[in-house]
Amino acid sequence: MANQIDTENLHQHISKQFDNELLDIRSRVLRLGGLVEEQIDSAVKSLLENDVDLAEKVIAGDYKVNSMEVSIDDECTQILARRQPTARDLRLVVVVIKTITDLERIGDDAKRIARQAIDMALHYPKKNQLTELQQLAFHVRGLLREALDAFARMDVDAALKVAQEDKQVDQEYESIMRQQITYMMEDPRSIPISLSIMWSSRSLERIGDRSCNICEYVIFYAKGKNIRHISIEQVARDLKGS
């Protein structure tokens, strides 16, 4: 009897340790997300306010994002090796690995925006040329925040809402591209500035896409369904029927 009790206590202890490890990696993902949000905010601010010093700080600070991503990835690898998780626990580790990869890439997108801010510093555009980009940035930052919130709560409905909003981001991005092409056709001298704005807009659009990826991972964890390459309308119908 004593040996049986000891075995049960050991199992409970190991289970509690494992639960704490899973909780820790989820918490660390959210901390990484917060750092990436700060990088985006600073990069966009440096672009809109012609702040080269701030842009350089964003570029220099990218190593923090990379370092945190590598650290979380290492911890996930150790969990897979030691715990050999199954079912939902395995899905959680997989989701964390995928999510931190997208967050690291979002950090790279922020760095690219900061570099464009430096490139534009000597020939800063008129404020009205940045109005639509500012709106796109505001929308994209909101999407990432909502995606991270959906991850924190593993909320399928919230994840679907973010994925559905990505269409508006695509429309805003396409509008900026058309606008800048018009500027370049009307005045070839505007080409360098317009190209910088277009590259920055492309980075923001990619951040929107990566935010949607995070939401796909949330749905995968909660429902066990891989929804890549399926229209969001079909996903919503499938989930409603399940």
The predicted pLDDT at position 233 comes to: 63
Q: Give buried/exposed letters for 193-205 (b at 16+ CB in 10 A, else e).
A: bbebbbebbbbbb
14-18, 30-34, 72-76: which has the minimum mean pLDDT? Answer: 14-18
* Mean pLDDT within 179-208: 93
Residue linked to tokens 């690291």: 104
Comparing 173 with 237, the larger pLDDT belongs to 173
The predicted pLDDT at position 103 comes to: 98
**CATH no. of 2-241:** 1.20.58.220
Per residue in 126-137, pLDDT (tens digit) is 777 899 999 999
Q: What percent of the chain has pLDDT over 70?
A: 87
Burial (0-12, 13-18, 19+ Cβ within 10 Å), 124: middle
Quick one: pLDDT band at residue 210, thresholds 50, 70, 90?
very high
* Token pair in block for residue 175: 């509008």
What's the half-sphere exposure (Cβ side, CA atoms, 13 Å) at 160?
17
